[in-house]
Structure 1
Amino acid sequence: MTQIFAHRGYSAVFAENTMSAFIAAEKAGADGLELDVQLTKDGEIVVIHDEKVDRTTSGSGFVKNFTFNEIRKFNANKKGVKKEPMPSLTEVLEWMQFNQLVCNIELKNNLLPYEGMEEKVIQLVRKYNLSNRVIISSFNHYSIVMCYRTAPEIEIAPLFNERIYMPWVYAQSIRAKGIHPKLVSVSDEIIKGAMENGIAVRPYTVNKETDINRLLSINCTALITDDPVKAMEMKKQYEKRP
């Protein structure tokens, strides 16, 4: 049955990419999380979507220009009541020792080439023995190929916005076991074709009920959504059907 991945955690209700959003997604019964990582000035892997801290935190400037201690002072829960720091990847993986979630780590290195980011992420995943519960994805396909070569035991999945012809052939060529396409760029035929060829398909970002239903009806591998609660409820309704 289709797995439900919480996009940046339960980001429909909680501040995206925060521990609150991840904990809430787990409580909602999500199968997995999707989160984004960048690199601080002193080489710490932090969980944040944008290259700059402006949109999601109380700070201003590029992630790469702050040390980890400096970036931790910003409030990552800008609109909420409770102040919350930006999590490090270490913090998330430590917490994952106490649950069964799968984690899709997106390397945000398609605009800024963070030197050594791949090795650092792999090192942490191995340190916490999570190689079988992590999927590394990126729009930077050179980067995920590098991850595969360094750690073939960790699944990789290319992200893309555009319509790729027979994406399963491309996925197989770079040794990816899955693809993470933008929802609007994949038809049911493409999804089925990929799955029939042994490639997992996890489209993003699936929030509308019609889209969630569409993917459930073809038993798509997984869907990445801002609202895991709604998706889980719909999945349960689906499973009850005769």
Structure 2
Amino acid sequence: MVSYAACSMVLLFFPGLLHKKKQPAFMCQHISHRGGAGERTENTLTAFEYAVKECGTDMLELDCQLTRDGRVVVAHDSDLRRAGRPGVTFPELDYDELPPLLHQLPLDFVPGRVFDASGWPDRRMPLLRHVFQRFPDTPINVDIKVDSDRLIASVGQMVSEFGRQRLTVWGNRSATVTSKCYKQDPSIPLLCSASCVVKIVLSAYVGLLPFLPLRETFFEVPMPSILYRAVKECGTDMLELDCQLTRDGRVVVAHDSDLRRAGRPGVTFPELDYDELPPLLHQLPLDFVPGRVFDASGWPDRRMPLLRHVFQRFPDTPINVDIKVDSDRLIASVGQMVSEFGRQRLTVWGNRSATVTSKCYKQDPSIPLLCSASCVVKIVLSAYVGLLPFLPLRETFFEVPMPSILYRFANSAWAKFPVWLADKLMMRPFILNHLRRRGMQVYLWVLNSEAEYRRAFELGATGVMTDYPSLLRSFLQDNPQYSAQVPRLKSTSPCR
């Protein structure tokens, strides 16, 4: 045991005694996530041009999909949700049929924030071929987004065609996809899959890391602590909203049956078309904080949105839809929209009225259901007479006001525990530095503040992926000590 521990310790700090050090053609600190999704329209040639020429990025990170006509297109999601057509996948359309990206694009790693692309005319999803042509000397990180032999073969052949095996790294969090990439072309540097990351971390804690053979060259993982952003800024797991129907059949997000919160009490939604609705008032009462109002005067957005726009903006967020009135037309419209966006598993609906809730269930039984008021009463009474265990329930969500609602409880520490544990286990300098000594590059993503950049480099990260390339560039210019700790292995490297 002592000999094993001593050998493990020696090899941990001097891995070259056992392993040949990897010699990638480039070392990159500054990596632009999707070209810099927080400053330009993501995954467009304009974003890539901006990141390379104006921000001096060392590497572009992008994602790939395959269209029906076999073109490799740069796009993140498996469907066209970011182009306003959720549920429609890339293999269903030819490249020339793809719509442009939306004007408002969510920043996946900055909860609640969106990038307004309306000021940038380039919203076309480019072909990977065009990116390779435009940036022949820039290292590019290619995320193969789906398990497709045809996509992997197409990307591998294109990398070979452009002779950029030494300037490309590829893979996916899926070990299956990453293995297929390696089989397609072993000369292209490989990203660590999720299972590879787990293997490295576990091996580090049992002393086996120095003995672990690694074909991967890039240890690229999210820094777990970035998940605290969601907890600190909002941390919501679900959006709750209410729906009304306008005269022209538009489903609008609004609570009251009339326009009292827009200064027109007594005027109902079915009396006006959507475009005739006035904005919300500057002062809005907080229904569950008696006597308090929210001052909206500092917020320019007082437009009541359409439910369709909410579904487009938050495709992966569970949404609780309260059907505010007994309207067959409203229920049918919402049910059809949930189906159109393919979000039956991410939506719950109903009303305190048992009649409305029953109509919702009849419209689409696959959408989870809220308990109506009578259902709540039935559950409570059944519990006290011993019948609750025998009570059949089609409802999925027992959502009731808590009588002690005026008491405010702090968020449970248990919600933060898994993130804390992952951060403590993975974000250790001895693991990251060992990987660097073995020639692996350690990239942490997606970090968007100077505090996060600093922590990543202090931990031993080789590079940082960001949505804000100009912010990262300024940080590196102001903190040259971090540039000094990342040597450029090749004098011919295009990285700055």
Please, what TM-score do these two structures have when normalized by structure 1? 0.86
1:59 offset after TM fit, Å? 4.1
Give the SS at the match of 1:158: coil
How far residue 203 of structure 1 moved from its aligned partner, in angstroms, is 1.3
**Closer, same or farther: CA 2–114 of 1 in aligned 2, 3 Å:** closer
The within-5 A match list for 1:179-190 is 179-184=219-224, 185=423, 186-189=426-429, 190=431
Is residue 2:65 matched to residue 1:38?
Answer: yes
The structure-2 alpha-carbon separation of the partners of 1:240 and 1:196, relative to structure 1 and needing over 3 Å to count, comes to closer
What CA distance in whole angstroms lies between the structure 1 residues aligned with 2:131 and 2:172?
19
For the residue of structure 2 that corresponds to 1:236, the secondary structure is helix
1:63 equivalent in structure 2: 90
Shift of 1:77: 5.3
Q: RMSD in angstroms over aligned alpha carbons? A: 2.5
- Give the TM-score normalised by structure 2: 0.44
Contact 2:30 2:58 in 1 (8 A): yes
Check if 1:16 corresponds to 2:42.
yes
Q: Which residue is 1:137 aligned to?
A: 171
Structure 2 residue aligned with 1:200, among 431, 441, 445? Answer: 441
Q: For 1:29 and 1:75, how far apart are their aligned partners in 2?
A: 27
For 1:49 and 1:107, the matched residues in 2 are separated by 9
Tell me if structure 1 keeps the 8 A contact 2:61–2:140. Answer: yes
Q: Mark the structure with the bigger radius of gyration.
A: 2
Cα deviation for residue 2 of structure 1 reads 5.8
Counterparts of 2:160 and 2:38, CA distance in 1:
31
Query: 1:176 corresponds to which residue?
Result: 216
Cα distance in 2 for partners of 1:163, 1:121 equals 24
Q: Which residue of 2 is the match for residue 154 of structure 1?
A: 188
Change over 3 Å in CA distance of 1:165–1:128 after alignment to 2 = closer
Residue 221 of structure 1: how far off its partner (Å):
1.3
Q: Does 1:191 align with 2:432?
A: yes
Q: Counterpart of 1:75?
A: 100
Note if contact 2:175-2:195 (Cα within 8 Å) is conserved in structure 1: no
1:198-230 deviations in Å (ceiling 9; x for gaps):
321111111121110122334521111111111
Corresponding position of 1:86: 125
Distance in 2 (CA, whole Å) between partners of 1:220 and 1:212 is: 9
CA distance in 2, matches of 1:179, 1:218: 14
2:309 aligned residue: none
The superposition leaves residues 115-170 of structure 1 with CA deviations (integer Å, 9 ceiling, x where unpaired) of 31111101111111111110002112222222222212110112439972534859
8 Å CA contact 2:101, 2:125 repeated in 1: yes
Q: Check the 8 A contact 1:125/1:134 in 2, yes or no.
A: yes
In 2, Cα distance between equivalents of 1:174 and 1:216: 23
CA distance in 1, matches of 2:150, 2:141: 19
Task: List runs of 5+ in structure 2 lacking aligned partners.
Answer: 1-26, 104-116, 204-208, 225-422, 485-496
Following TM superposition, by how much is the alpha carbon of 1:13 offset from its aligned partner in structure 2, in angstroms? Answer: 1.3
Aligned residues: 233
Report whether the alignment pairs 1:122 with 2:160. Answer: no
Q: Distance in 1 between matches of 2:45 and 2:193?
A: 24
* 1:102 alignment counterpart: 139
The C-alpha deviation readout for 1:53-91, integer Å capped at 9, x for no partner, is 12x2244421121111111xx112533241532101111
Distance in 1 of aligned mates of 2:163 and 2:475? 32
Letter in 2 for 1:129: G
Instruction: Name the SS of the counterpart of 2:176 in structure 1.
Output: helix
Structure 1 letter corresponding to 2:190: I
CA distance in 1, matches of 2:434, 2:449: 23
Contact 1:216–1:235 (Cα < 8 Å) also in 2: no
Contact 1:178 1:199 in 2 (8 A): yes
Say which SS state the counterpart of residue 201 (structure 1) adopts: strand
Gaps of 5+ in 1: none
Indicate conservation of the 8 Å contact 1:161/1:182, yes or no. Answer: no
Q: Note if contact 2:175-2:196 (Cα within 8 Å) is conserved in structure 1.
A: no
CA deviations over 1:172-222 (Å, ceiling 9, x no partner): 645111111111143132322322333211111111211101223345211
CA contact (8 A) 1:77 1:83 kept: no
Change over 3 Å in CA distance of 1:130–1:162 after alignment to 2: closer
TM-fit CA distance, 1:236: 1.2
